Amino acid sequence: GEAGSRAGAVSIAETTSGVVRANHLRRNRHLKRRLLACADHFNRSYKKGLAYMQEIKLLPEPLEANAVARFLKFTPLLDKEVVGEYLGDHKEFNISTLTAYCHIFDFSGVTLDRALRSFLDGFKLPGEAQKISRILEVFADRYYSGNPEAVADADSAYVLSYSIIMLNTDQHNPQVKRKMTLEQFVRNNRGTNGGNDWPRETLETIFAGIVNDEIKLTDDAAPTLTPSKWSDMMRSCGGGKGRMLASPTPQEAALYDADLFGIVWSPTIAAVSAVFDHTIDESVLKDALDGFLGIARIAGHHRMTDVMDHLVATLCKFAAPAHLQFGGNGGGGGSNGSGSPRPAVQFGSDDRARTAAVTVFTLANRYGDSLRAGWCNLLDLILRLHKLGLLSKKVTEGLSVDDRDGGTMRAIDGGKASTSATVQPEKIQKKVSSSSSLLRGFSQLLSLESDYYATADVPLTEADKEAEQRATRCIEACRVEEVFADSKFLEAQSLLHMVRALTWAAGPAGAAGAAGAAATENGDGGVISGASGTGSNGNSNSNSNSNGGGVGGVGAAEGGAVSAEDEDTALFCLDILVAVTLRNRDRIHLLLPQVYGYLRTIVQSAQVPTPLVERAIFEVLRIARALLPYKPELGEDLLDSLRLMFALQPAVADAFIERIARELCVLVRAAAGFIKGAKGWDTICKLLMASARHPDAAGHGFEALSLILAESSSEGDEGAARGGGGEGDSS
């Protein structure tokens, strides 16, 4: 027991020290990144660079020579020419920095030529003679202090240093035709060692070293491992510097997994993508797929969102190649090369696209918490599959709101409301001119929707039928609907990014509403917009610029009618958005601002009734009806959203007022007991007052008022009963 306790204590101590070391290394890595940014500033202007470092607290105020010297010595990617000019400057602080820079080196026991090499390795000697002399004087003083027995005095070290630089230039300058000989070099240095000659073997060693290994005096930043530099490295390691850190235990080594993976993930994805893109071998394709899944597993474990986003974007590119977007012939590498124009046949014939599709949706289902921007790529892929008719009816229904989320909304004629799968604009656009309908007809004719391929009279071969079956099985294996059905298990940040991606993916129709270009026939005030409640909540009939999230801004409202394809896309995204919202009712406070902002943008920018506007209006009602009993504390916010109806244009309000009144009646019947605030009742009553002006809506309005009075009467009776028997009976 004692031995086990001791071993446990040692293990805890080792783990603690490992965490401390890991954090220390991460801080150093972060500091190095900051220093690289500082180096860039310094290279452009050393004055501004030093000021910037003082601003971010990397250098003290006022400047200290030692701090600047260490920055010049140890920061990588500094421009050597700029460093040389700075060290050679005659200003007092620059000379102090040069002295401090030189004192960083330890020249003890090192020959003069090797010491000079090491010293000149960090900067380029300036071209001006006075600056060179000033730098060499400081170097000579430092060398002499470390090697008093090797040279007579500092002046002797200075003279020989200058002679070495001249020899280096002579030997390695191609413009010098007649090179200096050893005897000439020895003769030039007679009597320069304190009045005496240098030992001949010393000069011979220096001469041979310079001839065989040039001292680089340029600003070449490329690292080169010369024999002299290798010698310096070995000497540094011998003193305990420059050694690699070794992790003493596997537990401590595991602390660095995320850091190492952060370095290698990008080239790894690129390498696996290259293999996946060019292989035609099924086993190699499977190995590449395993590589993608392995990367995702590590990224998901460490919650590395940028890695997961990049991986999803890469796989979405493979899952939706260009030939599938436009129904063209041919397939990518690894496909069977079907010539059928049907997207399902092409998709079923492309092994690579199907494999990538299943993989990317598998990642979304498993590691959705680690997705951020990747939701946009995933939504883009889902929309492509939807436009090409590759999503089955089962998948499409799974993406819509079901009975658990408030039930099916009813359209004006009593049937189901318009959805992305059943767009029927003729039933609600009674007042849109025939020219607008003609434009929509052309848009449908020219769009690349699935109906074109479904009705094309192209006989399918057996191979094509098998390809269609493969495509169907692939889409079912993707489990697209589960990605959104399981959104209630996502972390808050991932969920918010999913909702933003849905509003982004809706495109121009989603951002601007489905505003029509045609003028409405009825120019007078609308039923709702002309009501007394137009001052509600600051809403007006003008278009809103709130952040709905679409990519098209309000351009659709200003630039003309939205195509049927764009509107179908927006309806499809709206279906999913409302389903996700209602399935996350436990944290609805996170989503309501984004969702209401999106719906507000559609409704307020609508000039004529369209299927998208219809859905947006009644999704506001659906959300209020579904959440009032579940979240009564949000009653004020939910009912306040209904004031958006006061901003409807006359044509839009007239088209929908009967159904608005009917849905308000359903809302009162289901949730009247949960409406407590005066402001909420004010909103409902004003909407019902407006409905009284419309013959078809008046009946629903009076029914709702009857329900309100009945509810009020029952509450009054209950209150009287609680207040006392006799008084309650007499009243």
Mean pLDDT of 43-62: 93
| Rg (the chain; Cα; Å) | 39
Cβ contact 468:342 at 8 Å? yes
Q: 9-232 sits in which CATH class?
A: mainly alpha
Q: What CA–CA distance (Å, rounded) separates 196 from 200?
A: 12
Closest C-alpha among 687, 718, 716, 719 to residue 704: 687
Q: What CA–CA distance (Å, rounded) separates 171 from 159?
A: 18
Active-site residue, from 55, 128, 426, 715: 128
Closest C-alpha among 410, 613, 658 to residue 520: 613
Cβ contact 49:38 at 8 Å? yes
Confidence label for 519 from pLDDT (cuts 50, 70 and 90): very low
Is the pLDDT at 486 greater than 60? The verdict is yes
The reply to whether the predicted model has a pTM over 0.95 is: no
Q: What angle, rounded to 10 degrees, do the helices at 200-212 and 154-172 form? A: 40
Find how far residue 585's CA is from the centre of its chain. 26
Which residue has better confidence, 29 or 163? 163
Q: What CA–CA distance (Å, rounded) separates 312 from 305?
A: 11
Residue-level pLDDT at 289: 92
Is the pLDDT at 305 greater than 70? The verdict is yes
Domain residue spans of the chain: 9-232, 258-390, 406-438+492-519+544-627, 637-726
Tell me the backbone φ, ψ of residue 415, rounded to 5 degrees: -85, -175
Q: What CA–CA distance (Å, rounded) separates 84 from 127?
A: 9
Tell me the backbone φ, ψ of residue 285, rounded to 5 degrees: -60, -40
Residue-wise DSSP of 316-349? HHHHS-HHHHTT-S---TTB-----S-HHHHHHH
Q: Which residues contact 150 (CB under 8 A, 6 or more apart)?
A: 111, 112
Residue-level pLDDT at 229: 59
* Sign of the torsion angle spanned by Cα atoms 521, 527, 531, 533: negative
Q: 172-176, 249-253, 708-712: which has the highest mean pLDDT?
A: 172-176
* DSSP H or E run through 708: helix 695-723
Closest C-alpha among 537, 524, 475, 459 to residue 693: 524
Q: Is 128 a catalytic residue?
A: yes
Residue-level pLDDT at 535: 38
Q: What CA–CA distance (Å, rounded) separates 294 from 576?
A: 30
Q: What angle, rounded to 10 degrees, do the helices at 80-87 and 92-103 form? A: 120
Q: What CA–CA distance (Å, rounded) separates 685 from 645?
A: 13
Ranking 332-346, 400-414, 427-441, 654-668 by mean pLDDT, the lowest is: 427-441
Q: pLDDT tens across 575-586, in order?
A: 999 999 999 999
